[in-house]
Structure 1
Amino acid sequence: MYGMATRKRALSLVAQGRSLNSVSKETGISRYAIRSWQTRIEPLPRSAGAPIRDTPADPAAYSYLLGLYLGDGCLSEHPHGGHQLRIACADAWPGLIEECRTAITEVLPQSKVCLLQRQGCVSVTSYSRSWPDLFPQHAPGKKHLRQIGLRPWQQRIVDEFPWEFIRGLVHSDGCRITNWTTRLIGGVRKRYEYPRYFFTNKSEDIRHMFTDALDSVGVAWKPSSAWNISVARRASVALMDAHVGPKY
């Protein structure tokens, strides 16, 4: 998709100490493409007894897309065979829609991606016979009403790219908000604001995947209700801001 000159320019910007986010915004190249140019990643081995037609072309992009799929994604059978991947993205976040489309292209370059406008959201869709192999969590019924687990090869990708997985989950079922309270300072009550992250999902298994990934990168968290995970400590919020950030 990108010529050698384009790749060299992006990598030179990263070498100057720039973040992947800033280089991506300046060049229009996805963070995942830039990361894949930095590190050559060997193809994933196919598990005996569970062959898959295609492995993710870009594991980092797959880790992000897996987070999106577990939150707001589904697979549906196509009348002529194969399956359609659908990720629902709210109209309020055009950047998320574009990141989702880019991630699908990076994971399965031969697939075509379409945007279908729905009421209040865009359904990012892609047809392939490979999607059930890439997302073996697909099964009848809602995710929170059945057991959800990662295959060993998926867990290896999440372990390698935990921040991408966390970012995908937050972009699907999470948010960054600003809370506020008041404090007495020098006898004067002043307003005090502080940011925090929330992740909400009815599936206990998916919430555990999220918190396991947070643990692996040193982010402190706590449950705030039956379905909610909160990240509120200043150092942990700073880590989330550096690697995840608000939807846009």
Structure 2
Amino acid sequence: MDGAAARLGHVYDISTRKRALSLVSQGRSLNSVSKETGVSRAAIRSWLVRIEPLPRMSAQSGPCCRCQPVPAWPADPAAYSYLLGLYLGDGCISSGARSGYFLRIACADAWPGLIDACVTAVKAANPSGKAARVQAVGYVSVVGYSQHWPCLFPQHGPGKKHERRIALEHWQQEIVDAYPWEFIRGLIHSDGCRITNWATRLVAGVKKRYEYPRYFFTNKSDDIRKLFSDTLDKVGVEWTTLARGVDPFNISIARKASTTLMDTHIGPKY
């Protein structure tokens, strides 16, 4: 269900959605289309981003590893470390029906392998073992529904991540320390990239061009960037900070030994 439609208990079929969007594409206002079709403006607005209905999901699941009398790590800590990186970069948690929560990770259509890896990680971390793909414009939301996402991701809270403090719980830090490359991969897959840089230099008086790989990680949150750089330090990757204007949003990895390490464990998105 979508927005106001969900609150009213309505699920509109695809033909109704397409008709409403067709009227909007003719230059009609959301208000006039809403009056003609009987569909709320909020629902029509949401269809401009995603026309397909969200899949029906159940919050019923097995026991949560963090809700036990003696809390434990997730069953697949490597997958969790990767998903934690994805969540800190491109993820969010929102309230759903029946006291459950939606975890959503936005993945660009350009990287189908990354989408597959994200689905696998969400299934591994979700106590229900389920995940779904919801196609939007230019990206896929990988969605999991559970009552326990705030237990597994205590960084969840009101407001944007870069406007509030982000810190790992002790047990999360232990997992990241045990699986640092998975955490780095999740952050790179969400807010990072690998590019081919080039430069010129004089060789025997002749200017020659040479190319070399370079990794970037960009995030507005000082805390998230520090989690990334601290983990790089632990695996021996050298990095520098590049400012965007006066804002130090970019972390760069360019030294040959460090990019070789990154290529061995991370590599380009796929």
TM (norm. structure 2) is 0.72
Of the three residues 122, 125, 128, the one matched with 2:140 is: 122
Unaligned residue ranges in structure 1 (runs of 5+): 1-42
1:80 aligns with 2:80: no
1:233 aligns with 2:251: no
Q: Secondary structure at the match of 1:224?
A: strand
1:106 is matched with which residue? 124
1:38 is matched with which residue? none
1:247 aligns with 2:269: yes
Task: Say whether the 8 Å CA contact 1:112–1:126 is kept in structure 2.
Answer: yes
Q: Secondary structure at the match of 1:245?
A: coil
- One-letter identity of the residue aligned with 2:151: D
Deviation per residue, 1:88-146 (Å, 9 max, x gap): 00000001000000111122362321100111100000100111100000000000000
- One-letter identity of the residue aligned with 2:114: L
Cα 1:55–1:127 change in 2 (3 A) is farther
Q: Secondary structure at the match of 2:155?
A: coil
Of the three residues 106, 111, 114, the one matched with 1:93 is: 111
Q: Distance in 2 between matches of 1:47 and 1:240?
A: 37
Q: Within 5 A, what are the aligned runs for 1:138-217? A: 138-217=156-235
- One-letter identity of the residue aligned with 1:128: S
- The CA RMSD measured in Å over matched residues stands at 1.9
1:71 aligns with 2:93: no
User: What displacement does 1:79 show?
Assistant: 2.4
TM (norm. structure 1) is 0.78
Q: Distance in 1 between matches of 2:101 and 2:179?
A: 26
Q: Distance in 1 between matches of 2:103 and 2:83?
A: 11
User: What displacement does 1:44 show?
Assistant: 7.3
Task: Say whether the 8 Å CA contact 1:111–1:127 is kept in structure 2.
Answer: no
Q: Distance in 1 between matches of 2:124 and 2:152?
A: 13
Q: Distance in 1 between matches of 2:223 and 2:193?
A: 19
Identity of aligned pairs, percent? 64
Cα 1:79–1:45 change in 2 (3 A) is closer
Further displaced range: 105-114 or 88-97: 105-114
Deviation per residue, 1:160-206 (Å, 9 max, x gap): 00010000000000000011111121222111111110000000000
Which segments of structure 1 move beyond 6 Å, counting only runs of 4 or more? 43-48
User: What displacement does 1:55 show?
Assistant: 4.4
Task: Say whether the 8 Å CA contact 2:90–2:191 is kept in structure 1.
Answer: yes
Task: Say whether the 8 Å CA contact 1:55–1:134 is kept in structure 2.
Answer: no
Q: Distance in 1 between matches of 2:222 and 2:66?
A: 29
Q: Distance in 1 between matches of 2:125 and 2:159?
A: 25
- One-letter identity of the residue aligned with 1:199: F
Task: Say whether the 8 Å CA contact 2:66–2:152 is kept in structure 1.
Answer: no
Q: Distance in 2 between matches of 1:70 and 1:58?
A: 18
Cα 1:78–1:44 change in 2 (3 A) is closer
Unaligned residue ranges in structure 2 (runs of 5+): 1-63
Q: Distance in 1 between matches of 2:173 and 2:214?
A: 27
